[in-house]
Structure 1
């Protein structure tokens, strides 16, 4: 198998990354994995899963007289907890936090809220379903535990057109008369769907299925508001795939068995259901042949149950895809895993609009590696979440990888490129309103008329001071975040080229002094506006520079004297 990511170089005792490939392995003391991933509104990436944590044990005043009592007390002291990780454009961790709940739990799905927070879906290890809302810093805004009295498991969350959420999963048949859904379940396991409002209020919960073992897998909302869901029914050793269309209130419109359509008795497992750009749907499946070898199957269908494309993808080694997304041009990227006799690797695959494979890449080391989920980013790169296991290890680690559109490995962005993107992002409003221009060399030009200096003047106007207040509140915290990379912030004073009744030498020297005074006035105002700790840091990287009229503003080779009377900024990095 081809390994396009090398085993990654150790950065800290918990963090691994390759110097060129944009990949991050996060090591926790015990097992940890990531299951779902999304991009935040500030272009950072957030992903959820679990890490294994311990609860503090309190010594009992009474010694244990029974070894089994002692073992039970120890076993309840550790387990998995929901874990959220947030990384910046350079795949550096900006937030890594356990969502500590009273019971051990796993997060399996994450959605963005309008306020840049999160809806998270998961389940507790003792069988309750969980629906949480977190703010942008992963603080719990609300946490709802629900489900039947027996074992329940959540498989996915789907964002609905009204801002609410549909939770998909399954529930062991209820045997308790006080359950508010059914006194008896439909079978061994039942498909279990719950609709929440955008405020987290439960609108309805419903069960579906047969007298056999039924499990809800995934769902998506159609353009008309109805819901398309995929589930499985297990009869003995045979697994059947059911497609179901529901009204917004959860009432069944139609249900169709895919195996009958495909005319196959081979084992099939559904992984993901997505809505396409043309408002049709794509179902991602694993199918097993007579030798029980796994390969990929993709089914495109419309809202009226018509199968539009049914395609099998055969690979050299047994393979499966866990997630798939469509680009704006209609092509696809998908991720999963590929197995040979020795190990398992993460699998990434690109496909054209007709689901024909274009490229595939394998990622990982000498042990078990797999991809669980992906998110297409604003720049058409792809963020992938999964798990990585070190060679000769039995414990999994959280894994984040960035890929290109063709499924190849993305290269880590330079700190200069990343900083440029951040500057453009935080000064988006000032750029749109023509207050300033940011160049890729990290120079910043002020272009608003109110920010220029008067002839022969260097004192700041009130408008200039107000602008600098807003400007530095955005700039200084960002520079501090990149402090290990930044060498200097230079403030350059400029002048126009004239000076009344002066010869060439006097004009140059007077303008040199004036430009230095403009730089100093700006530097001192910025410096004095900061707190003492920030001032101490600024002394190491802030400097003023006098450029006189060496960089005049020209239009068609003619100097614009008004616009030449200015200050500009330049950020210098180690690269």
Structure 2
């Protein structure tokens, strides 16, 4: 049976009604989402900032003798506060909460805790570093404020294998002999790294850098517990990068400095599954246009691959992640003279571009971070600016693995209603029933199995042909939402002259045979393309007599000898 043409042409009402998974949160003034993670219940949490008003204001009745004193009194009344957003699979915002701190602040990253809460890393706008631990409802468990006596800024917060975190950023040079951490700075700004235990205790803080202006950008933990750090050095008109390896105690093992005459900006470092590393950069070309550059290297700083990805417009990947098949997804921006769009790019393990997509309108849009989800979809966050607006908004977009924008998952009730519509004739003629949990049971007596039998009858085969011709195109049309199609075999509890153990095991084998023969008949009658798709979702199992059909508290043995189906959504 060749259903592919039917499948391609079939567009059901659920799919037609489906909307793109793009969430824009509009608040007064500029705001943004900066990082995102997935929760245990498959929702996603993103962190960003919104503008708010400081409750600490000047006293009423104060008289100012000059404008400068007055402006000073109101200069810190408005600023940023860390903002947590949680979004479910239907693109509903289920939680929004600002973390109220005395000083204005912004986040840089969000991490999961084992308790399904979050670590949030950030900094105050007056120069302190922050680590917050929140529960799953966004309530603050603890707040760590740390740093030097100078102006500090965090770039990223990294989760370590021991449950602790590593904060990386920059610190202004200190010349104070009273600073217990340093007697003197290394340059204008230095790389600043602090390590904390899983209980929030600071284990160490260290500075690194050159006589120039240095900034810690990102870091990642290697398999042996050492830490590989990505940093940036600014001098004259150049921005060059450095990669440094530290022991778990923060002692420098090696440093590799990449000098060139082209403006280079580092964004992200990740560890691959093969224990090598990839750095994402942007670098000016001969036309002074930023292009994507990716470098792969090993733990001994040997360069394995260095590739520039040339695009028509200026572009950069601000974040990259690796799929289980070694492909990479990157997000960032692409821009021309008048417009900037969010950029998503799919690459193979050799950094060959497989696909790229631009997202946004005729204004300023950009992605800051991406997270690969459990089902191989990804979620990207950043900023979106409406066409006629001058203010940026928080933005969250879910992507399929081919980096097309995902559709909002249908509600189970909507899916149930559409499934009932597809099988309305079979329901009306009492061939089958469908429950709201998307389970399907045959109820025509000609579709039950005889005692101890599992070979399909002519009536069963005939109905399975009709059933498959409707079910498979329906599932394929909604394949982005389908996780599993279960085919379960069942038996009655009877088995003559056996003990309990033999009774159960013989019925288990019989139920598995019923499931297998039903699955095999439906599967082998499809063309190869349909079979390839079915192999990714179909699951056969035998349930023995654990799900017997009961009537008036008595087993209906005839109706118990059956197969059933269940659709499980992502």
C-alpha contact 1:89 1:418 (8 A) present in aligned 2: no
Q: 1:251 to 1:549 in 2, by over 3 A?
A: same
Q: State the TM-score, normalizing by the size of structure 1.
A: 0.70
The corresponding residue for 2:193 is 193
C-alpha contact 1:369 1:389 (8 A) present in aligned 2: yes
- Displacement, 1:411? 1.1
1:442 aligns with 2:455: no
Q: 1:291 to 1:554 in 2, by over 3 A?
A: farther
**Cα RMSD (Å):** 2.8
- Displacement, 1:391? 1.6
Superimposed CA distance per residue, residues 497-538 of structure 1 (whole angstroms, 9 cap, x where no aligned partner): xxxxxxxxxxxxxxxxxxxxxxxxxxxxxxxxxxxxxxxxxx
The corresponding residue for 2:34 is 35
The corresponding residue for 1:62 is 62
1:344 aligns with 2:340: yes
Superposed, which structure 2 residues align to 1:319-398 within 5 Å?
Answer: 319-398=315-394
- Match of residue 280, structure 1, among 276, 279, 284: 276
- Displacement, 1:61? 2.9
C-alpha contact 1:417 1:440 (8 A) present in aligned 2: no
Q: 1:273 to 1:440 in 2, by over 3 A?
A: farther
The corresponding residue for 1:225 is 225
- Displacement, 1:67? 2.2
Superimposed CA distance per residue, residues 118-149 of structure 1 (whole angstroms, 9 cap, x where no aligned partner): 11110111111111111111111111111111
- Displacement, 1:291? 2.3
Superimposed CA distance per residue, residues 32-55 of structure 1 (whole angstroms, 9 cap, x where no aligned partner): 101111001111101111100012
Q: 1:548 to 1:191 in 2, by over 3 A?
A: closer
Partners in 1 of 2:303 and 2:401 — Cα distance? Answer: 27
The corresponding residue for 1:25 is 24
The corresponding residue for 2:111 is 111
- Displacement, 1:353? 1.8
C-alpha contact 1:349 1:406 (8 A) present in aligned 2: no
Structure 1 unaligned residues grouped into runs of 5+: 1-17, 421-438, 447-495, 497-546, 564-569, 571-575
The corresponding residue for 2:411 is 415
C-alpha contact 1:333 1:406 (8 A) present in aligned 2: no
Q: Secondary structure of 1:111's match?
A: strand
Partners in 1 of 2:38 and 2:250 — Cα distance? Answer: 30
Superimposed CA distance per residue, residues 169-199 of structure 1 (whole angstroms, 9 cap, x where no aligned partner): 0001013222221121111000000000001
- Displacement, 1:20? 1.5
The corresponding residue for 1:53 is 52
C-alpha contact 1:295 1:318 (8 A) present in aligned 2: yes
Structure 2 unaligned residues grouped into runs of 5+: 1-16, 417-433, 442-491, 493-548
The corresponding residue for 1:402 is 398
Q: State the TM-score, normalizing by the size of structure 2.
A: 0.71
C-alpha contact 2:550 2:556 (8 A) present in aligned 1: no
C-alpha contact 1:193 1:205 (8 A) present in aligned 2: yes
The corresponding residue for 1:95 is 95
Superposed, which structure 2 residues align to 1:78-227 within 5 Å?
Answer: 78-227=78-227
C-alpha contact 1:47 1:385 (8 A) present in aligned 2: yes
Q: Secondary structure of 1:73's match?
A: helix
Q: Secondary structure of 1:559's match?
A: helix
Q: Secondary structure of 1:379's match?
A: coil
- Displacement, 1:59? 4.7
Partners in 1 of 2:165 and 2:158 — Cα distance? Answer: 6
Q: 1:199 to 1:311 in 2, by over 3 A?
A: same
- Displacement, 1:342? 1.8
Q: 1:208 to 1:548 in 2, by over 3 A?
A: closer
The corresponding residue for 1:44 is 43
C-alpha contact 1:37 1:47 (8 A) present in aligned 2: yes
